[in-house]
Amino acid sequence: MRAGVVLEPIAVPEAARERFWERVRSTHAVLRQQPGFLDDMLLEQHSGPGRFNAVTVVRWASEDALAGAKAAVDELHRADGFRPAEFFRDAGIEADVANYVDLPR
């Protein structure tokens, strides 16, 4: 099985920045505990003209590990009463979420 990578370039308005990173950190704390988790990065743009000013990256041992991780994050959000789509819409956050796989070199 190929390793999976979830990459999220995100445009976050300044007014939502603090709450956004707070939610990302709590989500990634759960992701780090999931089977198949390899590593992650939380990146914030500090220069350049790009539209996306935040990027999150999570690497997984396999594509199959993503399903279990998604279920764990969904449970976290249910327990917290957090609705990501509503939060993004209300805060004006735009995300371009995609799953990638490692290619042979």
- Which CATH number belongs to the domain containing residue 82 in this structure? 3.30.70.100
pLDDT at 49: 84
Distance CA 70, CA 20 (A): 18
Residue 74 has φ and ψ, to the nearest 5°, of -60, -40
Residue 36 has φ and ψ, to the nearest 5°, of 90, -5
Q: List pLDDT tens digits, range 33-79.
A: 999 999 999 999 999 888 899 999 999 998 888 888 999 999 999 99
Task: Map tokens 């914030």 to a residue.
Answer: 44
Please give the tally of structural domains in the chain: 1
Percent of the chain with pLDDT over 70: 98
Dihedral sign for Cα 55, 57, 63, 64, please: negative
Q: List pLDDT tens digits, range 3-40.
A: 788 999 999 999 999 999 999 999 999 999 999 999 99
Q: Domain limits at 52?
A: 4-101
